[in-house]
């Protein structure tokens, strides 16, 4: 499986920040100054945890139904964190490879005149088409 979506519980921390943990993945918890940083850090942690489970031939937990997750405080919330693993599974997967792409000559010339990086443009376009950030 390449894409995983897990529910995460967000709690307000006493210092004004937020805590976030995955009920289905033991040992996962992050503390951050804001929700954006918490989700980013939690996503990286989830990637590391799943890769470690795969490496050790462990079963990946099945994500809980959000209705089955008990919240401890009225201010707690559930967010969903999605991870796409292929770029992280193998260092060789990030190795650059040559791809042939055909465009009209006038477009190539205009791109060169504008000093566009065709490789970067193609990478960004493919990532956008796949919904990868």
Asked if pLDDT for residue 95 goes beyond 80, the answer is no
- pLDDT-derived band at 30 (thresholds 50, 70, 90) equals very high
Range of the domain at 71: 3-88
Same domain, 124 and 74: no
* Confidence (pLDDT) at 68: 94
- pLDDT-derived band at 91 (thresholds 50, 70, 90) equals low
Same domain, 64 and 119: no
Same domain, 64 and 100: no
Number of structural domains found in the chain: 2
Same domain, 15 and 77: yes
Q: What is the DSSP letter of 58?
A: P
Rg of the chain in Å (alpha carbons): 20
Same domain, 74 and 109: no
Same domain, 17 and 69: yes
Same domain, 23 and 78: yes
* Confidence (pLDDT) at 47: 93
Q: Output the average pLDDT for the chain.
A: 90
Exposed / middle / buried, residue 59 (Cβ in 10 Å: 0-12, 13-18, 19+): exposed
The model's pTM is 0.68
Mean pLDDT on 22-37: 92
């Amino acid at each position: 499986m390449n894409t995983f979506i897990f529910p995460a519980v967000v709690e307000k921390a006493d210092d004004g920040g937020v805590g976030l943990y995955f009920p289905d993945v033991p040992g996962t918890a992050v503390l951050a100054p804001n929700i954006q940083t918490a989700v980013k850090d939690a996503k990286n942690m989830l990637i590391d945890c799943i890769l470690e489970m795969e490496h050790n031939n462990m079963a990946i937990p099945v994500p809980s139904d959000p209705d089955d997750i008990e919240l401890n405080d009225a201010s707690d919330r559930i967010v969903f964190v999605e991870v796409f693993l292929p770029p992280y599974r193998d260092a060789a997967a990030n190795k650059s490879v040559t791809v042939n792409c055909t465009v009209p000559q006038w477009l190539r010339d205009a791109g060169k005149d504008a000093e566009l990086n065709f490789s970067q443009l193609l990478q960004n376009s493919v990532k956008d088409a796949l919904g990868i950030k």
